[in-house]
Amino acid sequence: MIPIKGYSTFQPLKHCIVGRATSPENVAEPLKEVMNNTKEDLNNLVKTLESMDVVCYRPNIESTTQRPPISPRDYFIALGEKLFVGKVVAGYKDILKSIDREKIKWCVGNDISSGNMVRCGNHVHWDISKHVEHRMEKEILQWLSENKYKVSITRHGWHMDGVYSILKPGVIVASRDLPELETIYPKWDICYPTAEQVQKPIQHDWGGDYKESNYDVNILSVNEENCIITKENKVLFNFLEKNKINPIVSEFRDKQFWDNGIHCVTQDLYREGEMEDYFHD
């Protein structure tokens, strides 16, 4: 069975889902090049993670006409020793079957994921969207309270992993979009890298709104010493060096097409460690 545990975004990652794109031979131009690039880039990401002793799981392609299961981050979150499932989409059935049913908390039909919940020990920042039923909101807040979490709530309706990433206690990489960020994390060291100028990707139903995103803040932390990013960024690299974090570049050439960064195309299932208090004086 696949183990489940997650108390932060930066404790040592050991089990992880990596998304998958449709095979190039199953699509027409101009998607062939996108699918081929994505297949290569995600396979290289898996190799990088496996070289760091992370076990990777891949969803299956069940349809060649629907958007492929490229972004597992949008559907799941490991909170403590439970996997919360906000949506059930094609491709993840075999992975879910390999998880102890007692470890799964079903929140189906609700926008519950580690895209909009940021874990930091006994603290969770939850940006609650309009796609969360009031009943489910109350139920999850009750669960968090019973399990000794402190919760900061915003209601912008954004995916917070496109706004900031916590790479270790006290260290954040962020865009300037979240006005509450420095209130939630007072006195933390925050880097605000400028978003790169990007070329307009091809337009397709499988794509996303790339104009809203800064992919340099969408970072996968493997542990407190290593993180994975999609390209070099001098300001970011200097910040990481200052904080003794090693950046590992794993290219993702069509992130603008998918509107997904490295964090989006992964979903951590198990990180070592226990619940800690990172906000004590």
| Structure confidence by residue, pLDDT tens digits, 137-191 | 999 999 999 999 999 999 999 999 999 999 999 999 999 999 999 999 999 999 9
- How confident is the model at residue 243, as a pLDDT? 98
CA torsion 83-84-87-91 (nearest 10°) is 0
Half-sphere exposure of 67 (CA within 13 A, CB side): 13
CA angle 200, 62, 64 (to 5 degrees): 45
- How confident is the model at residue 10, as a pLDDT? 98
Q: Map out the domains of the chain with their CATH numbers.
A: 13-271 (3.75.10.10)
Distance of CA 70 to the CA centre of its chain: 12
- Strand (E) or helix (H) holding 135: helix 134-146
- How confident is the model at residue 281, as a pLDDT? 59
Specify whether the backbone of 261 is left (phi greater than 0), alpha (psi in -120 to 50) or beta. beta
Identify residue 233 by its one-letter amino acid code.
Answer: N
**pLDDT by position in tens, the chain (length 281):** 999 999 999 999 999 999 999 999 999 888 999 999 999 999 999 999 999 999 999 999 998 899 999 999 999 999 999 999 999 999 999 999 999 999 999 999 999 999 999 999 999 999 999 999 999 999 999 999 999 999 999 999 999 999 999 999 999 999 999 999 999 999 999 999 987 766 778 888 898 777 767 889 999 999 999 999 999 999 999 999 999 999 999 999 999 999 999 999 999 999 999 999 999 75
DSSP 215-263: GGG--EEEETTEEEESS--HHHHHHHHHTT-EEEE---TTHHHHT--TT
- For the chain, what percent of residues have pLDDT higher than 70? 99
Tokens of 258: 């998918």
The pTM of the whole model exceeds 0.85: yes
- How confident is the model at residue 204, as a pLDDT? 87
Residue 134 to residue 2: CA distance in whole angstroms: 31
Specify whether the backbone of 151 is left (phi greater than 0), alpha (psi in -120 to 50) or beta. beta
Residue 17 to residue 185: CA distance in whole angstroms: 28
- How confident is the model at residue 197, as a pLDDT? 67
